[in-house]
Structure 1
Amino acid sequence: MLRTLLNAVPITVLMVAAVCLTVAVMALAVWVVRRTVPATRDGFHAEISAPMLGIVAAVFGLLLAFVIIIAYQNFLEADDNASREAAALSSIVRDSAAFPEPGGSNVRRAVGAYVRSVVEDEFPQMREGTDSDVAKGTLDGVFAAFRTVEPRTPEQTAFYDDAVRQLNETLDARRNRIESAVGGLPWDIAVLILFSSFVVVAYSLVVGSPSFWFHLLGPAAIASVVAVSLVVLVDLSYPFSGDFAIPPDDFRTGVLKAFFN
């Protein structure tokens, strides 16, 4: 559901909607708290509860920032996997120029088919968290093409060995790329973040004030920051989905660009 929402709604709209909904919910919550706990209208013990709220919010902020940083690092790693796979394929194409024919042409043709299937079929499917059967089939075609190569000289053998190593690098990077496309947060981290968010927002509701609007200011500000942070966190957790999805640009540059002309 979260992935579908990211793919269907622009991230800026999600952030604005999250803030508006949060402020509305906080306004209702403050109204309920002021009616059910009349002492909050007098700002009871605000001189003690307000500093304590600051400490709780600071600890929660550190926790949330840490999780977002980890999610961002995973996002960068997913981008690096795509770049590494494209770089390995580029090396195979360059190495294949030294192969005897028809093996060299077979390898280049198979790599081209695989690259096109990744860009045109697999990346769109990765937005939904799945890989492509078409890409799997064309990758098998690359292996079949390698079996048609028969190196005859030490130079050809050296380039062939390097190409095989790059093919293994391609497999490793592809496997990591597909795993990253699944996305999402571990359930225990999600529970921790949601529980911590509830605690800090609930705490802010009991820091009262004689003024309704001043009472609302604290919970609304804290909850809005939490809501926007959670939207960013969710977006980073699905690196191949949403507005900031990792694009297949690396597969359309350098020597691989020739396969799209």
Structure 2
Amino acid sequence: MFNHFYLAACIFLLCITAVFLLVKKNPLLKRFSLDLDIGGIIYGGIVAVYSILLAFIVVIVWQQYQNTGDRIQEESTKVFNLYRASYAFPDSTTGKKIRTTVINYVTSVVNDEFPSMENDTTSAITQKRYNQVWDMVYAIRPQTDNEKVWYASMVTSINQFAEARSIRISDIDPSLPPLMWKILIAGGLIIILFAILFKTNNNKTHYLKIILFSVIIVFNLILVNMLDHPYKGMLKIEPSAFTKILKHYKEEQK
């Protein structure tokens, strides 16, 4: 999708160049040229409304992008709480099994699920490891009062972990509806085409301003697209919170 988006951006800029040359060179189209004094006020109003809308969208998707990172951090924290709680149980019966099950899940999240999320899907392997975490908690039979306290803590952690995981997966789908994309793209086109129609004495300067304006709009739309897809592209969120758990586990094994 991202390659298609960048390709569309390049084609868009080429089309703007073609339209500009067509308007400036074709005598028939020159009749539609606008006087800056007459159309400037209307144009300024359109640009102001579009700028506010675009800025609002950027802020919204940026906040959602940050929230996605926070949810991943929360999920990893709750998973690590399960890992630490394992030391309250005997290794011979329960403790080691808890740690192994948790680490298997974390490993699969890093190696299987995050790569899958780049393709807008989840991993069946990770889902299986996730189910095993639940099965592991179901199978625990605390014997002492201390184990019962820690088991209650584990039940709380796994429920919070499940909620965070569910939200993380739901964040795969873009939050910006198609209608909003149509409005943003149509608005950008109207603004640029409107600017092309203005009469100027220096076509080269006018062209450079049009291209610069177009690039700013395209870059902002690309930014919105990247933030709305937090698991792919240049700004994709990495599973660093989970890799820290694996690093901690490896250090314990030394």
TM-score normalised by length of structure 1: 0.86
Classify 1:215/1:39 alpha carbon distance in 2 versus 1 (closer, same or farther; 3 Å).
farther
Matched, 1:86 2:44: no
Provide the rounded CA distance (Å) in 2 between the counterparts of 1:200 and 1:257: 54
Matched, 1:38 2:45: no
Provide the rounded CA distance (Å) in 2 between the counterparts of 1:83 and 1:235: 20
Q: Is the 8 A contact 1:30 1:215 kept in 2?
A: no
Higher relative contact order (CA 8 A, sep 6+): 1
Please point out which of 225, 240, 245 is paired with 1:249. 240
Provide the rounded CA distance (Å) in 2 between the counterparts of 1:4 and 1:50: 36
- Partner amino acid for 1:250? A
Q: Percent identity at matched positions?
A: 23
Q: Is the 8 A contact 2:107 2:246 kept in 1?
A: no
TM-score normalised by length of structure 2: 0.89
| 1:147 counterpart SS class | helix
Provide the rounded CA distance (Å) in 2 between the counterparts of 1:4 and 1:221: 22
Provide the rounded CA distance (Å) in 2 between the counterparts of 1:44 and 1:84: 55
Match of 1:64 in 2: 54
- Partner amino acid for 1:74? Q
Please point out which of 101, 123, 128 is paired with 1:132. 123
Shift of 1:37: 2.8
Please point out which of 35, 38, 42 is paired with 1:48. 38
Shift of 1:207: 1.3
| 2:78 counterpart SS class | helix
Q: Is the 8 A contact 2:34 2:197 kept in 1?
A: no
Provide the rounded CA distance (Å) in 1 between the counterparts of 2:74 and 2:247: 13
Shift of 1:5: 4.6
Task: Please identify, of 197-206 and 120-129, the stretch whose mean Cα deviation from structure 2 is larger.
Answer: 197-206
Match of 1:76 in 2: 66
Task: Please identify, of 50-59 and 169-178, the stretch whose mean Cα deviation from structure 2 is larger.
Answer: 50-59
Q: Deviations over 1:136-181 (max 9, x none)?
A: 1111111121133211222211111111111111111111111112
- Partner amino acid for 2:66? L
Classify 1:259/1:223 alpha carbon distance in 2 versus 1 (closer, same or farther; 3 Å).
same
Aligned residue-pair number: 249
Structure 1 runs not aligned, ≥5 long: 7-13
Matched, 1:219 2:210: yes
Structure 2 runs not aligned, ≥5 long: none
RMSD: 2.3
Q: Is the 8 A contact 2:103 2:246 kept in 1?
A: no
